[in-house]
Amino acid sequence: MMENNTAQHPSKQIGWTREQMAKRAAQDIPDGAYVNLGIGMPELIVKHIPEGREVIYHTENGLLGMGDSPAPSEIDPELINAGKKPVTAIAGAAYFHHADSFAMIRGGHIDICVLGAMQVSQSGDLANWSTGEAGAIPAVGGAMDLVAGVKRIFVLTQHTTKQGQAKIVHQCSYPLTGQGVVARIYTDLAVIKKTGDGLEVVELAPGVSPQYLIEHTECELIFPKGSA
């Protein structure tokens, strides 16, 4: 089992924080995109879209034009996202039936979906809803529809588990959400994209060397010429 970054380097920060990871992922979301954000860390992206860009957020429970989290005094218990967290609605937002929301997803009308992950394989397979253990999570929810219908899937996740095990692997051992669906992976250690030849490192986080990334990744990585 691999050691995690904090155990190996207790005196200094290695890589990006959660907020920095979200900010880095937000940089790759283009102006005018329709975006669905998964539960958890992906929700942080709302706060980090570069100034001057307009992004329209979709949530599968029936809202297009989702805003940031409300102030405690402005919470509307009837206005929530798919993760049951209070949200706001921007001017011009639209509400619709759950079935219509999934018609948007299945019809290919959402540009980007950012999801968390338990595992991503070297071929871009995604496992993000169950470890296979009984009683852990009741169901996959809308994730399978999202990875099948959305144009591009980004993953935002820690590079390893809390126990130091790699989350980017040769082959997923957990139940798959989708095969070959992941376009980009944003972790605390690096930005990685899927190519026809495998997983290519786009950017290393501060303090992360190519060797350190290799040691914390189970599958082979492609580095730009001269970087590894």
Question: 19 an active-site residue?
Answer: no
Q: How far is CA 128 from CA 73, 76, 117, 167, 191, in A?
A: 34, 29, 4, 11, 18
Closest CA to 189 of 8, 22, 15: 15
Q: Which of 60, 74, 78, 203 is catalytic?
A: 60
> Would you mind telling me the total number of residues written for the chain in this entry?
228
Dist CA 81 CA 226 (whole Å): 44
Dist CA 82 CA 8 (whole Å): 37
Q: How far is CA 211 from CA 29, 45, 177, 179, in A?
A: 29, 29, 30, 28
As annotated, the active-site residues are 60
